[in-house]
Amino acid sequence: MTQDLTAQDVDALALAALPSQHEDAATFRALVDALADRLQTVDDALIEIQTQRDIAEMDGAQLDQLGRWLGEPRPGGAYPDGVSDALYRERLRAAGLRNASRGTHDDIQSVVGALIGANLSLSLLTDTPPAAFRLEIVVSSALSSAQATALGLFVRAAKAAGVGATILHGEGPLFGYGSASYIGGYGSGKWASVA
């Protein structure tokens, strides 16, 4: 686990840590000040490295390189001709989760949440033995065909090998029979799509 670095004034910290017998010694203070200047340069460089590796701070070519590392190149080529940086960041977050997935319910739900984001209203994953699951996703606004295709590909890659997956998505309530809050019967339910 990494620890976030915060910018700090190394010179002030070094001078504050001086023993009392050296507080008035001009030569000693000058030596501490000179060493602290060099440490400040190192501290600033570490902060810059941390910022440059943060996906929220990356753009353009940096995101494209990260996408190649994660096995998720930017669809449609490089920005600005392809997917915007904001949408590509969401896809890269989902790709990282997908690559680390062990096929558990939580892993698959995390991938779906990262891929759909704020549009996700409900995600229900139900086992269908012997080796399959059904994923019902209710969204606040309909997914585009590209989003639905990406959803299917990401979930199928995140699940365990040999496990079947049925993925249904749509705006709620979905048409069906039952007492769940996301199901609507005749006149109120909407047809779900298969990803």
For residues 105 and 116, give the distance between their C-alpha atoms in angstroms, rounded to a whole number: 16
CB 189 within 8 A of CB 173: yes
Q: What is the pLDDT of residues 106-152, one digit of tens each?
A: 888 888 888 888 777 777 788 888 888 888 888 878 888 778 888 88
Q: Where does the chain hold its CATH 3.30.70 domain(s)? A: 103-195
For residues 133 and 164, give the distance between their C-alpha atoms in angstroms, rounded to a whole number: 6
Omega prior to 80 cis, within 30 of 0: yes
Q: Pairing state of beta strands 132-139 and 164-171?
A: parallel
Which position has the token pair 């490295």?
Answer: 49
Which position has the token pair 């670095």?
Answer: 5
Nearest to 151 by CA among 128, 139, 134, 167: 167
Q: Reply yes or no on whether the pLDDT at 1 is more than 80.
A: no
Could you tell me which CATH class the domain 103-195 is placed in?
A: alpha beta
Q: What is the pLDDT of residues 76-109, one digit of tens each?
A: 654 444 678 888 888 899 899 999 988 888 888 8
